[in-house]
């Protein structure tokens, strides 16, 4: 139907299941199990009352000022997006022409390849080492290489590379290195400070996970102002709406909520990881709000199906050249316990 060959032959990104039924326990898409800050409801109500008939602020100035205060950057270092997927799309379109190359590690976020396919770009993947570190060739020069995605913490592993290692990679690369920090609020380290010293380091964040706002679609990029200025040409003029700007600003202002939530999630992560290890799973040390669990004998697909039949959704992850496993988002303590009980039965 009229579409480009690149589009016709691709199948599109398949998001994790979003069941309609409320009784399902959803541990498959790394959402936060807790509702967001209570400051959001009044902020949204105020924005509605102010009237929605005018266009929103095209630059989300209020959010950028507040996020800048929290993170220690001037607002012109920040670009807002309709979710961090919007940021990844903007960067792909800005940096990579048809036939040029995007590099990212394997296994990692499945969307990177989709974005490359839509853009008509070539893909170079570099396998993680078995301990989830990255080999030096991840920073090797390559003809036509225009953008490197590096999720940190990574999905599905939850593992993190040190900022020192990432600085080393950035120095060797002569194209943008987009560090996708969707899960960084749950980690001990992040790469924000690298942005000041490295014009090619871009750090992407989302409010979907650590602020409990997946339904809102709000992400942002931190990069040097010259980079942000170019990316502004590519984004939709009004890519963030008035309600999401109001809600996101309230959310990032409430750092006490973030710290409290972070404590709960990291405690739940320990509960899950330790419980899974006791059941014989191999679980890499996670710095995210999920864990990746590989069982030596039980088949991951069977575990996924059995859990689903009992009303618990996790993500079944099967990657080329990699043992398959299940990725489990951290739930409430009760949800985590229920899952462990089910898996105890299933792996007995």
> Of 101-140, which residues contact its own copies (CB under 8 A)?
111, 118, 120
CB of 235 to its own copies, least distance (A): 9
CB neighbourhood size of 344 (10 A): 12
* Residues contacting 60, CB < 8 A, separation 6+: 80, 240, 245, 248
Our CB check for its own copies shows the closer of 45 and 70 to be 45
Q: Which of 201, 247, 326, 339 binds its own copies (CB under 8 A)?
A: 247
The pair of structure tokens assigned to 316 is 């079944």
User: Is 48 an interacting residue with respect to its own copies (CB under 8 A)?
Assistant: yes
In angstroms, what CA-CA distances link 250 with 27, 207, 254?
26, 11, 6
The pair of structure tokens assigned to 78 is 């920040």
Q: Are 315 and 327 in contact (CB under 8 A)?
A: yes
Q: What is the size of the binding site for its own copies (CB under 8 A)?
A: 82
* Residues contacting 250, CB < 8 A, separation 6+: 37, 39, 40, 42, 43
Q: Are 302 and 280 in contact (CB under 8 A)?
A: no
Binding mask 138-167 for its own copies (x = CB under 8 A): --------x---------------------
Q: Which of 66, 195, 216, 273 binds its own copies (CB under 8 A)?
A: 216
Our CB check for its own copies shows the closer of 35 and 323 to be 35
Q: Which of 25, 27, 40, 166 binds its own copies (CB under 8 A)?
A: 40
Q: Which of 21, 53, 131, 256 binds its own copies (CB under 8 A)?
A: 53
Binders in 4-23 for its own copies, by CB under 8 A: 4, 6-8, 10-13, 15-16, 18
DSSP per residue, 224-240 = -HHHHHHHHHHS-TT-S
Our CB check for its own copies shows the closer of 53 and 297 to be 53
The pair of structure tokens assigned to 154 is 């990574």
User: Is 197 an interacting residue with respect to its own copies (CB under 8 A)?
Assistant: no
Which H/E stretch holds residue 275?
helix 255-278
Our CB check for its own copies shows the closer of 49 and 309 to be 49
Q: How far apart are CA 275 and CA 140, in angstroms?
A: 40
Q: Which of 184, 213, 276, 330 binds its own copies (CB under 8 A)?
A: 213
**Which residue stretch of 67-75, 94-102, 133-141, 309-317 sits at the interface with its own copies (rule: CB under 8 A)?**
94-102
Q: Which of 143, 164, 233, 309 binds its own copies (CB under 8 A)?
A: 233
Q: Quick one: 299 exposed, middle or buried, by C-beta within 10 A (0-12, 13-18, 19+)?
A: exposed
The pair of structure tokens assigned to 199 is 């014009």
Q: Which of 27, 77, 78, 89 binds its own copies (CB under 8 A)?
A: 89
Residue from 29, 20, 32 nearest 313 by CA: 29
**Which residue stretch of 70-78, 91-99, 288-296, 304-312 sits at the interface with its own copies (rule: CB under 8 A)?**
91-99
């Amino acid at each position: 139907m009229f579409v480009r060959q690149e589009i016709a032959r691709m199948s599109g990104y398949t998001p994790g299941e979003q069941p309609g039924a409320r009784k399902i326990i959803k541990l498959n898409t790394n959402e936060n199990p807790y509702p967001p800050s209570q400051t959001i409801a009044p902020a949204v109500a105020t924005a509605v009352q102010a009237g929605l008939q005018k266009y929103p602020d095209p630059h989300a100035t209020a959010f950028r000022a507040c996020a800048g205060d929290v993170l220690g950057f001037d607002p012109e270092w920040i670009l807002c997006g309709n979710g961090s997927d919007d940021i990844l799309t903007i960067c792909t379109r800005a940096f990579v022409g048809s036939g040029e190359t995007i590099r990212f590690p394997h296994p990692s976020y499945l969307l990177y390849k989709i974005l490359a396919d839509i853009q008509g770009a070539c893909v170079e993947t570099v396998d993680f080492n078995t301990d989830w570190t990255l080999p030096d060739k991840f920073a090797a020069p390559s003809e036509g290489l225009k953008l490197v995605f590096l999720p940190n913490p990574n999905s599905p592993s939850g593992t993190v590379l040190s900022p020192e290692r990432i600085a080393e990679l950035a120095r060797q690369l002569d194209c943008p290195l987009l560090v996708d920090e969707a899960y960084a609020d749950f980690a001990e380290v992040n790469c924000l400070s690298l942005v000041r010293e490295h014009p090619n380091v871009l750090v992407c964040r989302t409010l979907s996970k650590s602020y409990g706002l997946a339904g809102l679609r709000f992400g942002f990029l931190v990069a040097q102002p010259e980079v942000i200025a170019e990316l502004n040409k590519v984004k939709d003029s009004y890519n963030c709406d008035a309600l999401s700007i109001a809600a996101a600003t309230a959310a990032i202002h409430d750092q006490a909520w973030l710290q409290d939530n972070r404590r709960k999630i990291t405690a739940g992560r320990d509960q899950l990881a330790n419980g899974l290890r006791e059941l014989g799973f191999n679980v890499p040390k996670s710095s995210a709000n999920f864990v990746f669990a590989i069982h030596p004998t039980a088949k991951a697909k069977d575990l996924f199906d059995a859990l689903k039949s009992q009303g618990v959704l996790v993500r079944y992850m099967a990657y080329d050249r990699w043992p398959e496993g299940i990725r489990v988002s951290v739930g409430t303590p009760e949800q985590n316990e229920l899952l462990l009980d089910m898996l105890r039965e299933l792996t007995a």
